[in-house]
Every structure is written in structure tokens, then in C-alpha cells.
Structure 1
């Protein structure tokens, strides 16, 4: 029995060590997601409290309202449509390398669409419509596949900011 118990203890130790190491390896990546979302929040006015659960002290942004994550606790979707938000989108959103969906339609967002977003190779869909964005409409990277209607009703989009 002793060898069996020792072997079981060794196996358990290996499993625990693997879990700790994988958590430590994932932590900096998830921290980048938190940093990007915190930068977005800090630049926006949020009179209705849509972002009230976005607390950078909470290590898991997957518990925040309007955020969806994958099995590795990486941000895959930001759904902030019609939340009465105003202000610019943060360039740090370009750090969300697992982001697939970015929905910010129907707010009062302004400024340029950050050029850093063209590096989001996993982005499948985005909706910037019904805001007050200005500057160029991104056309490279994932934006080659984003329909023009996703930029509709931004009177200053395509014009100098």
C-alpha cells in the first residue's frame, strides 16, 4: 500500500504542479485582456453604469457584464451595443488577440476607429454603426470582411477628425 500511496501522491503533485504552471503561464495573457478593457472603460463616459462590473482587481474579466470569453478565459466578445456610452475606443483593444466580435453600435462613441484593430486576426464581426466616429474606415486585416453597413450612420467617418 505504501508504494501505491507514494505513487498516488507523486501523481497528485504532478497534476497540481501542472495546474499551477498553466495558470501562471495564462495569467499574463489574461492580464493583457484586463488592461485593454480597463483602458477602454477609463476613456468612456458611462452614465447608465453598463461598465460597473469592470473591476480590474477581479482577475477574471469573464465575469464582467457585456464580455464573453473562451475556455481559456480570454476575451472573445465585447457587446456594448446601445449602452449610451460616449468617448473614444481605446487603441489597447488591439491587444485582445482572441477577440472575435466587437459590438459598439448605437452609442455616442467618437474619434477614430483605432488602427490597432486591424491586427485582430480572429475578428469575425464588428458593428460600429450609429455613433460619431471620424477618420478613415479600416479596410485591411479582418476589416476586409466587415460589411460596410457595420459603419453606417457615422456622419464624420471617412472624414478628417
Structure 2
């Protein structure tokens, strides 16, 4: 009987351990690590076998072991950003500035409803700014400057009433700058060095994508 009990407890422990090891946020971050190059080994502590990623360097969690901050600025990391970042549903700060990230900004970042700050500046990102970023109602800081972004500024961003800092300078954006929402509060420097970008937006007279 005692041996049966010990066997039962061992099986129960293994089951619980397996359940906890499949942490969705840890899996998402490990998926990010698997697609990028890390010559300085700043991600060497990202061990996918741990219960959760809260002990990993550059990752901050809240009291409930939920990832709320990712700090990888100035890390000499290169490669594409993937859709898995959109699974960090409690994330508040996404700091990926001054690296060599390339490719498009994943539209899945629009799932990060708790995000306060998104700093992707100083990379090699290209393509359009995703319209889905208009879902980030808690966003206060959005810095996308010094990339290779094209297309227009999505009108959906005008609904971000909490946005205090917006910078898309030094890209290749086109079209017109919105005049509603928080956009009248942003200085000219937020848009400079986008040779095909004009403003303010002429509501009802020209298409928003005019010139793109």
C-alpha cells in the first residue's frame, strides 16, 4: 500500500510539473529567442524548462508571475519580430530599441491591451504601421522612429486618447498626418525626415492615403 501511495504521489508530481512547465508566456518568449540572433548572449538565461520566465534576465513579472516588461534595448540583437509577442497579454512595457530587428511590425502587437510603452526605434523594421495598434487604449508612449517604415499613419491611432509621446521621424512614411485625437499635441519633430508625409490632414477633401 505504501509503495502504491508513493507511486501515485510521484505520478501526480510529474503531472503537475509538466503542466506548469508549459507556461504560455515562457513559450512565447522562447519562440522569440529561437528566431533571432544574439551575439552577446544576453538571452542565455532564457531556459524554457523553467516553470515561468520570471527569473530570466531582461524580463520583469508582477506578483502573479505574469510578464509585464521586456527590456532588450541596446542588446545587438537581430532578426524578425514574430507574432508570439502578442501572447504576452499582461505586458506593459516593450523595450526593443536600438537593435537590428528587421521585417514587419507584427499586427499581433495589437493584442497587448495593457501596453503602456512601445519602443521599437532604432531598428531596421519595414512595412506599414499596423492598424491593430489602435487597440492599445492604455498606450502612452509609441516610438517607431529611425526605422524603414512605409505607408501612412493609421487613422486608428487617433483613438489612443492616452498617447502622450509619438515619434515616427526618420522613416519613409507618406500621406497626411491626422488632426484628431492626440495628434495636435505632438510636435513637428515627431514626423520629420519623412519626405512624403504631409499634414495636417484635409478631412473630406483628400484620401488619407493620398501620396502613398
More helix by share: 1
The answer to whether TM tops 0.5 is: yes
Offset from partner CA, 1:66-110 (integer Å, 9 cap, x none)? 000011111100000000000011211111110010000000000
Which of 30, 44, 47 is the matching residue for 1:38? 30
Q: How does 1:7-156 map to 2 (within 5 A)?
A: 27=20, 31-138=23-130, 139-142=133-136, 145=139, 147=141, 150-154=143-147, 156=148
Q: Which residue of 2 aligns with 1:17?
A: none
| TM-score normalised according to structure 1 size | 0.76
Unaligned runs of 5+ residues in structure 2 are 1-12, 152-171, 173-212
Q: Return structure 1 stretches of 4+ with deviation > 6 angstroms.
A: none
Rg comparison, structure with higher value: 2
Task: Name the TM-score, length of structure 2 as normaliser.
Answer: 0.58
Structural RMSD (CA)? 2.4
Partners of 2:114 and 2:138 within 8 A in 1:
no
Structure 1: runs of 5 or more not aligned: 1-19
In 1, the alpha carbon distance for the partners of 2:114 and 2:68 equals 9
8 Å Cα contact 2:113/2:137 also seen in 1: no
